[in-house]
Homo-oligomer: A and B are copies of this chain.
Amino acid sequence: MSEAADTRQQFLSVATRLFAERGFYGTSIAAIADELPYTKQALLHHFGSKEKLYGEVLKGISDQLMTELEAARDATSGEGSSALEDTLIRFYRLLEGQTHKTQLLMRELLDNKHRATSANVWYLRPFLESLIALAKQASPSTFASDAQALITVYQLLGAMNYFLVSEPTLSQMFGEEMYRELRSGYEEKLRVLISQAIG
Contacts and interface: CB of A to CB of B under 8 A. Distances in A.
Given A106-B106, A109-B165, A112-B168, A23 B21 contact: no
Nearest to A103: B110
A168 B161 CA distance: 18
A84 to B, nearest CB: 16
B151 A155 contact: no
A125 B173 contact: yes
By size class, the interface of chain A is: 35 or more
A171 to B, nearest CB: 9
A110 B108 CA distance: 12
Contact of A162 (B113, B162, B166): B162
Nearest to A164: B158
B162 A23 contact: no
Contact of A25 (B25, B147, B169): B25
A26 B107 CA distance: 12
